[in-house]
Amino acid sequence: MRLKDKVALITGAGGGIGRESALLFALEGAAIVVADVKDQGGQETVEMIKSAGGRAVYIHADVSKAADCEKMVDLAEKEFGKLNILFNNAGIMHHQDDNAVTTEESIWDLTMEINAKGVFFGCKYGIPAIRRAGGGSIINTASFVAVLGAATPQIAYTASKGAVLAMTRELAIIHARENIRVNSLCPGPLRTELLMSYLNTEEKRQRRLVHVPMGRFGEAKEIAQAALFLASDESSFITGTDFLVDGGITAAYVTPE
């Protein structure tokens, strides 16, 4: 088991990448704290883990609120004795997020509160716990659009994920000598509810797919496998990276310097 005796806290684990990662991490031996604002989805994830013989607990946590992030970290230590892995995965992609001219300030603020500040709060309270455990791995969900830019306008989302990349690099440098690794996980276009609800017409979906060399959307399970690698000791010399799992889209469009 690749995560035997580890404790992992995963935000946004009520569905999508978070759920698939929680199920996979538990299968590999980790005890899981499932955090989400979607109580039904979060509880379902816990039940799925337990029915497979794993250990898990759910907590309602809005990552844009400092108190909620502090409580979810406290729960990990109280329930399972420590925290080894923090997967800051929760995020939103708002339907009214568009270009700079048409996007409302409220949409910008909401997106930044969850996607960027949520990662900051997770690290603010998670890092001391991981330090107490003797080190571990932090994974922050960013996106290929933070590297490439989005063909379909979503200015707040793109900017928020760019903030995640920058924050991750700095955290990795600051905490490298503490045996705390910090990496960004950058998915390409995925067949998840989050993206499919945003690309809500066939025209929008094809506009995104035409850029993907593999010619298909990725699956949440594929991102979970990448997260498992970053969470495990197999990636022990990897920190501060933008780990792209994108079907080749950035390789096709980013020009080497």
How far is CA 145 from each of CA 122, 153, 250, rounded to the nearest angstrom?
22, 10, 9
d(CA 38, CA 41): 6
Structural contact between residues 38 and 117, judged by C-beta atoms closer than 8 angstroms:
no
Q: Two tokens at 12?
A: 């946004």
Full DSSP string of 151-184 = SS--HHHHHHHHHHHHHHHHHHHHHGGGTEEEEE
Structural contact between residues 155 and 232, judged by C-beta atoms closer than 8 angstroms:
no
Q: Which of 58, 125, 157, 198 is catalytic?
A: 157
Is 125 a catalytic site residue? Answer: no
Kindly report the number of other CB atoms within 10 A of residue 152's CB atom: 16
Q: Which residues are catalytic?
A: 157
